[in-house]
Every structure is written in C-alpha cells, then in structure tokens.
Amino acid sequence: MLDLDPLLFGEIDPPQRLLMGPGPVNAHPRVLRAMSADLLGQFDPEMTGYMNQVMALYRPIFGTQNQWTMLIDGTARAGIEAALVSMVAPGETVLVVNFGRFGLLLTEILSRIGAKIETVDAPWGEVVPLEAIAEAIHRVQPHHVSTIHGDTSTTMAQPLDGVGALVHAAGALLYVDVTATISGMEIAADRWGADVVTGGLQKCLGGPSGSAPITISDRAAEHIARRRHVEQGIRRADIADGQGPRIGSNYFDLAMIMDYWSDKRLNHHTEATSMLYAARECARVALAEGLEARFARHASAGRAMTAGLRAMGLTVFGDDRYRMTNVTGVYIPDGINGEAVRLAMREQFEIEIGTAFGPLQGTIWRLGAMGYNAMKHKVLLTLAALEACLKREGYAVPLGEAVPAAIAAWHA
C-alpha cells in the first residue's frame, strides 16, 4: 500500500469556471452557504422541522397538493430508480415514451427490475405526439407509463397535458422525470395527472447534485404501500406490511422512505443533512423569485442563446416548437473540431459547454443557461467566447453579430 503524505494533494481549490452546459451548473451562493450550516441528529426536532418545511416548499415547485412530497438521498438518478423500483413489480408492463438518451435510461432501469417494456418513440430532436401515446396505451394496456419531461440529450420537452388522463383511463400509473426542467419550466404534476414525479437540484434549481426531490400522488402511495415490507431490524407494531411483492431495493424503498418522512419517523436511513439544507434553500430561492418570473427568465435566456447562435451562422438542433428553455443544441460546423472549441472555451475563458450522446456525439454542442446561470450577462459572455473560439479554429463567423442578437431576443 502506497504511503501518502496527507498534505500531498493540497486543499481543494477548483477553478472559477462558468458552467454553461446541460448541467450541472454553478450553484447559487445562498445554497452553498446553507450547506455549511451545522449538522443535526436525524430525529432532532429542528431537523424534522426542516424536513417538514422541505415538503411544503416543494409542493408549489412540483405543481401539486400531494402530501408525499420529499427528498430521495442521492443524485437525480436515485429519484428515478426509487420511483421505478417501488412502482413497478417484475413482470409488469411499462410503456416508455422515448425521445432521447434519458428515455433509454428508463428502459435500462426497468429491464433490471424485470419489467416487460414497450416503447413509443420519436426521433432525437422531436417529441412523441399525444395521439401516438394514446394509440400505444390502447395497444399495450400497460400497468405503468414512464416518460421524461425535458431530455437534455435532445434539448426537447415532451408536452404532457392530457397524458395522465389517458394513463388513468387505462388503469395505469404515470411516472415523469423532470430533472432537467424543474423550476425552469412549469411542472404541473396535478394537472398532468402524474402519479410520481422526480427531479434534481443541479440544473434549474441552482444547487449541487446529490438530492432528488420527489412527489407521490395518493393513488401511487396506496399502490406502493401494498408492497411495504419493513426490514427486520426496524419492525414496529404500528407499521404493517403490505400483501404485494416486496420492493426490490432496500435503499430506494419508497414505502419505508415515506414512513421515515411521516410522523412515524421510521429509522430507515440517516438523512443527508447538508443536502437537505441545499434542497431547502434551492426551493426558497425559487419561490422568493416567483415561479412565473423564474420561468420567464429561463425563457429569455433560451431565446437569447438561440438567437445568438443563429446570428453566428450556426444551425440550431431540433424542433423549435418543443425546445427546452434552458438547454440549446447547435450543430458543430463542418470542418470544425468540436472538442478543440470546447477545450479553448475552458482554457481561454473558463467556460464549459457540453458535448452530446449517442447518435449526436460529435455532431452537436449543448449550451445551457439555467438556475443561477440563466442571466443575460452570462449568456452574452458565453456567446462572445464561442465566437472567438470558432474564429480561432478557422470558422468564418460574422464577428460582432451574436451579442446584439441575443440582447434583442432577451427583451423580446
């Protein structure tokens, strides 16, 4: 075993980089300050009071009245996995509305659960029409329907009004992942008829990755409770097991997690205190700004970014009608080394923009403007830096056009 000097690596001192990719983004300073607060015991009355506050704060952000609105400890994917493993039993049929990398992620997780998976698909850069979803539900007769709201791999946002009514008419449950859009675009869990919705802090909420807000309808909570099997070491007389198949994960068992967040305070796990502080402050910042104002700010940032890119002569990816407000995809010009441009953006300007996945890898860049970074000056700095880096790589960029176009679009 290597004997290392504990001072060998030095104190962490990351560069002050502007994160203008598809996420994560720079956290709001208030969130970082909240994370530095003292730790508390998990059942300290102050701590359980903060937990109750988090539940109340996230209901308007999710657009819901659901009692079961809380946090899953872990990144946004922890929320996705908790939702799916707790809702879906092996052998049950799930229809996945798939239009990008994260729809494929749902199928990956579901395959590990042992679900029977059907998909209704759209090409990357498009969304799935409501009529196609209706036809697929009629044909498949699923137990569950799962979808992404905004898929950062394609920068598209799937319209969801009317989907819940179709799902419930078929006797199924609807799961929606809103990681990429929560607090940047309207999330309307109750109006959509979504039974479980999960998100993350690291994008429009302006926090660090590591906590996954979740909301669960009463209908879904009853379904999950039928699968409750409390672990042996914490069994109590006041919490009865359900009669359904046991949830296949202990850590992501929503039945026990709900009992932990309830007045029962089942000792399922130790809450990630600093991340709860972060999630609480993210919500306070968003609600103090006002959700409508926040949505409008993200829309302005997205318009400005798109206008500036087009003013450079670049081609924006995907269908304008369904573009997320907070992430924009743009084609890398022919003959330009996309990774060289991204490297120059980091090294010369300390700005990060994103690459792409799957069939779009090496074809588009993805530029984000969300949360604490959905500000006019940060969009303008990013566009000006990209213009300079494109010129450096030999692209015949029309100099000086991007920033004025973005300013005009911001105020449109």
pLDDT (average), residues 347-368: 96
The Cα 315–Cα 332 span in angstroms is 8
Distance (Å, whole) CA 392 – CA 13: 29
Phi and psi at 213, nearest 5°, equal -60, 145
pLDDT at residue 17 above 70? yes
116: pLDDT strictly greater than 60? yes
32-71 per-position pLDDT tens digit? 999 999 999 999 999 999 999 999 999 999 999 999 999 9
pTM for the whole structure: 0.96
Which pLDDT does position 1 carry in this prediction?
53
Q: Look at residue 10 in the predicted model and tell me its pLDDT.
A: 84
| Residues contacting residue 220 through CB under 8 Å, at least 6 positions apart | 87, 173, 195, 196
- pLDDT recorded at residue 376: 98
In this predicted structure, what is the pLDDT of residue 80?
98
Helix H or strand E segment including 347: helix 338-349
Q: Residue 325: how many CB atoms within 10 A of its CB?
A: 26
Across residues 140-161, what is the average pLDDT?
98
pLDDT of 51: 98
pLDDT tens digit string along 300-357?
Answer: 999 999 999 999 999 999 999 999 999 999 999 999 999 999 999 999 999 999 999 9
What is the three-class DSSP state of 136? Answer: helix
pLDDT at residue 6 is higher than 80: no
8: pLDDT strictly greater than 80: no
In this prediction, residue 2 carries a pLDDT of 60
Kindly report, residue by residue over 64-105, the tens digit of the pLDDT: 999 999 999 999 999 999 999 999 999 999 999 999 999 999
**Average pLDDT of the chain, as a whole number:** 96
Residue 308, both tokens: 């500036």
Ordered domains of the chain (ranges, CATH): 29-286 (3.40.640.10), 291-410 (3.90.1150.10)
Model pLDDT for residues 236-288, shown as the tens digit of each residue? 999 999 999 999 999 999 999 999 999 999 999 999 999 999 999 999 999 99
Q: Is 70 helix (H, G, I), strand (E, B) or coil?
A: strand
175's tokens: 């799961």
